[in-house]
Structure 1
Amino acid sequence: MSDLYTQSQLIPNLPNDIALQCLARVPRYHHPILSLVSKSWRSTISSTALYTTRSRIHTTETFLYLNLRINSTFHWYTLFSRTQEKPIKVCQLSSMPTRTIGPAFAVLGSKIYVIGGSIGDIPSNNVWVFDCRFNCWEMGPRMRVCREFAAAGVVDEKIYVLGGCVVDNWARSMNWAEVFDPKTGLWTALPSPIEVRDKWMHASAVVGGRMYAMADRGGVVYDAEGCAWGSVSKRLDLGWRGRAAVVGEVLYCYDYLGKIRGYDVKENVWKELKGVEKGLPKFLCGATMVNFDDKLCVVWEGKGSGKEVDIMCAEIEVWKNEDGGLSGKILWSDMILVVPNGASIVHCLAVDL
């Protein structure tokens, strides 16, 4: 903790630990204003102690992070939650130091991990980490093998990465799957049977502690608790399109008709999400989804003008009916960003801060 924080009284007549809890309850939207009050407040607002306290007293907020491709370059943005008092605010963030094509993404705590990808058409084992608390990039521990278009997911505070490499030698064969433990800062090989070692993975998700990775043909599922591999059902394989999100152990994506559907893993069946048809367009392509504070957040490319594209966003409350069907209610839907024509959404993620 900084000297300013330990030596200065943050709020008169209050112990600093109590004052810190008061500041931790202020929404992050107001932090730039709080940092202008005094040097000690500015130091505290930018300290790890504040975010540790927010997590401990359960005052964290969920923020949406977008990665867009614009004119062959990649740009990062964050979206401040929309409330009745405040309109949507989108801020552009610093770009990742290295431009990569086809990386995997994972969120672990307050950090976004950008894993592998190709640099100049050559797969990389680099891992870039964006600390969302302080808006800065750093190089993370490199993987054991180079990957592009791999699958990634988080189970029990560990990152699992599958595929994205050609199994043409012993090293790639033994390290086709890896797991990263942030406590040790190390990647370790995850033993996998030969029959599951596909090269490219086009989608992945974690449902109930099991990681699903979809390949060009079928896919695999890894049960982290039981350390067991299996195949995904044919029904899941045929119905999974685009970027999916898991809310309430139901996997949501859009079908070939552009409607949002949810896959119930226990029942092995797809169900249409009812109640949102009139408020959303048909997602034939270019839409991505994420679990946003136990709600379904959908981001897509709107029409815009001839030279610009509107980036649209909707937050949807979803639930399972008594009869087992899926229903949703659109909490809000609006344009959040205008970008040049030809831009596309690479990924969206949700981070608690």
Structure 2
Amino acid sequence: MKLDTSPSSSPLLSLPDDVALNCLARVSRSDHGALSLATKSYGSLVASPDLYTTRSLMGLTETSVYVCMRAPPPGPNPRWYILCRRKTSSDLIPIPSLPSQAQEASSVVVVDWGIYVIGGLIKGKPTSDVYLLDCRTHKWRQVTSMRLPRANAAAGVVDGKIYVLGGLGLGLELDGYTSYGEVFDPKTETWDCLKPFPEELELHGGYIHDCFVRDQKVYAVCGKIDGTDTTFYYSPREGNWGSGNSRSSLGNARDWCMVGDLLYSISRDGTIYWCEPEELDWREPEGMVTKEVKGLDSLKKSLSCSRLIFFDHQNVHLWEQFRKVYNGTFRIPEVMDLLPGARLTNFGPNMLLFWSVLVGDRLQISCAEISLERQGQGDEVRGNIESTSVVLTVDPFDYGYKVLYSASVLV
């Protein structure tokens, strides 16, 4: 039986706009896509920013999860998806993508209802471009560019402003310490330079591979060419820079994220670790003490395999050339050890993981939701796999598919 969606059969369309919006606001956002296809009028109401405002006032906003993937041509590269969650399965549904987005090394942050894509590499060169995805309407627009081109920068949101640290490459280029950070105000769409990085603090030359916000400070995790990692931070409220701990025993833990009041990361062998965030500010000899999240053994093998397919030939070649330059001076890790094989995203009090694994001649993108519980005297965290499903299956031509970013947005 075909549903009659003509205006005469749709009582909702005969109501005043504010009443119609009030009704639509009560419908789950996962059903908005189907409603938008019913009629042009429904599509207009669903895409209206007023619907977001109405849902916010009624306390009916939901957490939506967005995923960005690199994919082989043709078509936009990277490509964006929204996670459609069901009782027994989940799927990645494509949304409009941005043809001009950098293919690698962008920084991604969420402010209110929008996702900002900042900088990155275009044809191997850093860009200062910044784009905003309006998650209410799934429309893109370009905003004011950064003062400097940056790639693999740390970025975080404090008090509604976006702080971007580093991303200038190995060592300090351009104006060095005075160029190391800048801040963006979404209300005025303007960039300002941060207080110069103090020379008395050691800025460890290397690559920033992770960042997060803790205690209103933006932290950057920086990999040194000798294989160890260090942290530094910027505190917007105090207007100060600081340096944190150094660590060398985490087995190349990557994709750090805060869930609740604890800090989580994943290693190349598929182990998920946790630690007290206060340990970031401890200095030697205390060091950082990380512990394994218990109960996730069934995911380890799949997660460890994922890292094998996360690199294109160009990235491998560039890193191998870098390794040759420093050969014999430091222990330079292999490219597979540098980047994560999974993406961690906070999903309310839980964690979402996205990872990809070759199964036969197909590439499967999987998603797992994990609830986390601190047990005993607080010295153990146990993870419980609430759900897991394959959300996308693709042809792995030239290993071109890669999960780049994931983000949770309240819409």
TM range (shorter): 0.7 to 0.9
Deviation for aligned residue 1:237 = 8.4
Q: Which stretch of the first structure deviates more once superposed, 27-36 or 182-191?
A: 27-36
SS at match of 1:165: coil
Structure 1 residues 1-353: aligned runs within 5 Å: 10=12, 17-35=18-36, 40-71=41-72, 73-83=77-87, 87-100=89-102, 101-165=104-168, 167-170=172-175, 173-191=177-195, 192-194=197-199, 195-196=202-203, 198=205, 200-217=207-224, 218-235=230-247, 238=250, 241-266=253-278, 268-278=288-298, 281=301, 283-284=303-304, 285=307, 286-306=341-361, 308-324=362-378, 325-341=380-396, 342=399, 343-353=401-411
Identity %: 35
Cα 1:236–1:352, aligned 2, differ >3 Å: closer, same or farther?
farther
Deviation for aligned residue 1:78 = 1.5
Cα 1:251–1:165, aligned 2, differ >3 Å: closer, same or farther?
same
SS at match of 2:32: helix
Deviations 1:124-153 (CA, angstroms, capped at 9, x unpaired): 111011122212221111001111111111
Deviation for aligned residue 1:247 = 0.4
SS at match of 1:200: strand
The alignment of Structure 1 onto Structure 2 pairs a total of residues equal to: 340
> Counterparts of 1:161 and 1:36 in 2: how far apart (Å)?
39
Deviation for aligned residue 1:242 = 2.0
Contact 1:102 1:117 in 2 (8 A): yes
TM-score normalized by the length of structure 1: 0.87
Cα 1:173–1:232, aligned 2, differ >3 Å: closer, same or farther?
closer
Deviation for aligned residue 1:96 = 1.5
> Counterparts of 2:408 and 2:142 in 1: how far apart (Å)?
21
> Counterparts of 2:234 and 2:122 in 1: how far apart (Å)?
29
Deviation for aligned residue 1:107 = 1.3
Residue identity matched to 1:71:
P
Residue identity matched to 1:207:
R
> Counterparts of 2:244 and 2:92 in 1: how far apart (Å)?
38
TM-score normalized by the length of structure 2: 0.75
Q: Runs of 5+ in structure 2 lacking a partner?
A: 1-10, 225-229, 280-287, 308-340
Q: Which stretch of the first structure deviates more once superposed, 133-142 or 236-245?
A: 236-245
Deviations 1:233-259 (CA, angstroms, capped at 9, x unpaired): 124885662212210121111235421
Q: Which stretch of the first structure deviates more once superposed, 316-325 or 221-230?
A: 221-230
> Counterparts of 2:79 and 2:268 in 1: how far apart (Å)?
29
> Counterparts of 1:197 and 1:127 in 2: how far apart (Å)?
27
> Counterparts of 2:342 and 2:260 in 1: how far apart (Å)?
20
Contact 1:158 1:181 in 2 (8 A): yes
Deviation for aligned residue 1:112 = 1.4
> Counterparts of 1:199 and 1:274 in 2: how far apart (Å)?
32
Residue identity matched to 1:224:
P
Q: Which stretch of the first structure deviates more once superposed, 73-82 or 192-201?
A: 192-201
Contact 2:179 2:193 in 1 (8 A): yes
> Counterparts of 1:138 and 1:200 in 2: how far apart (Å)?
29
